[in-house]
C-alpha cells in the first residue's frame, strides 16, 4: 500500500507541475515561487535599451558566466539578478549619452542554464531543466518518485559551494506521509545540485 501511495503521489505531482499553466504559476504567492532567479551559464537573456533599437538583443550567457553587449563589452552575469545587470549596463552606457541613459531592462527569456540531476533509487534518474525554481520534493516528483526500496528520509542534496561540496539531508519520506514541515525542511534546488535518493 505504501509503495502504491508513493507512486500515486509522485505521478499526480508530476502531472500537476507539468500541466499547470504559466498564469497559474505566476498567481501563486511569492513564498511558493522560490527565491529570486539568479542568472546561470546557458541562460538566454533579452536586453532592451528603450528608445534605441540598435541595443535590443537576445544573448546567451556563455559557459564562463559572461556575455558581451555593444558599447559595454563583456559582462559577468552568472549569479546576478536581472536588476543587477540592468544597473551594470546603465552605468556602462552613461558615457555614450549626453542626457539621461534610456531605461534598460533585462529579462530571462529561457532559463535553460538552471539544471539539476537526480540519481539513485528513482524511476527516472537524469538531468532536468524545469524552467523555474523547484524544491526537493518537486525534483523527486519530476524524476518519477522513489522506487520501492528508496530510503526517502535519507535523501541528500549535494551542492558545490566554491571549492567545497555541501551535503543537505532532506526527509522526503516525512513529506510524502503528510507530516507538517516548514519550507526549510524541503529546500529549493539550486542550479548544479544533485539530489541523491539512496
Q: What CATH number is attached to the domain comprising 178?
A: 3.10.560.10
Give mean pLDDT in consecutive 10-residue pieces for the chain, a chain of 198 residues: 45 41 35 75 95 92 96 95 96 91 93 95 96 92 95 96 92 89 87 96
Looking at the structure of the chain, the number of domains it has is: 2
Q: What CATH number is attached to the domain comprising 72?
A: 3.30.1950.10
Q: Which of 134, 129, 136, 77 is nearest to 107 (CA)?
A: 77
Q: Which domain holds residue 23?
A: 2-35+114-197
Distance CA 114, CA 60 (A): 13
Strand 104-110 and strand 116-120: the pairing is unpaired
pTM of the model: 0.72
- Residue 38 and residue 80 in contact, taking contact as beta carbons nearer than 8 Å: yes
Q: Are residues 102 and 122 in the same domain?
A: no
Q: Are residues 187 and 89 in the same domain?
A: no
Which burial class, exposed, middle or buried, applies to 119 when counting CB atoms under 10 A from its CB (0-12, 13-18, 19+)? middle
Strand partners, 128: 116
Task: Write the DSSP assignment of 58-105 as a string of letters.
Answer: EEE--TTSEEEETTTEEEE-TT--HHHHHHHHHHHHGGG-SSPPPPEE
Q: Supply the pLDDT for residue 34.
A: 65
Amino acid at each position: 500500500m505504501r509503495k502504491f501511495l508513493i507512486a500515486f503521489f509522485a505521478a499526480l505531482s508530476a502531472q500537476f507541475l507539468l500541466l499547470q499553466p504559466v498564469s497559474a504559476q505566476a498567481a501563486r504567492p511569492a513564498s511558493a515561487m522560490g527565491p529570486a532567479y539568479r542568472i546561470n551559464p546557458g541562460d538566454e537573456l533579452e536586453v532592451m535599451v528603450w528608445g534605441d533599437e540598435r541595443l535590443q538583443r537576445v544573448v546567451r550567457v556563455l559557459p564562463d558566466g559572461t556575455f558581451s553587449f555593444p558599447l559595454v563589452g563583456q559582462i559577468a552575469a552568472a549569479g546576478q539578478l536581472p536588476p543587477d545587470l540592468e544597473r551594470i549596463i546603465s552605468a556602462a552606457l552613461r558615457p555614450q549619452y549626453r542626457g539621461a541613459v534610456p531605461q534598460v531592462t533585462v529579462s530571462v527569456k529561457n532559463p535553460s542554464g538552471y539544471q539539476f540531476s537526480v540519481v539513485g533509487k528513482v524511476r527516472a534518474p537524469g538531468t532536468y531543466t524545469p524552467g523555474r525554481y523547484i524544491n526537493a520534493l518537486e525534483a523527486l516528483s519530476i524524476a518519477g518518485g522513489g522506487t520501492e526500496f528508496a530510503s526517502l528520509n535519507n535523501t541528500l542534496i549535494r551542492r558545490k559551494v566554491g571549492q567545497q561540496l555541501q551535503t543537505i539531508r532532506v526527509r522526503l519520506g516525512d513529506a510524502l506521509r503528510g507530516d507538517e514541515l516548514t519550507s526549510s525542511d524541503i529546500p529549493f534546488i539550486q542550479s548544479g545540485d544533485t539530489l541523491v535518493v539512496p
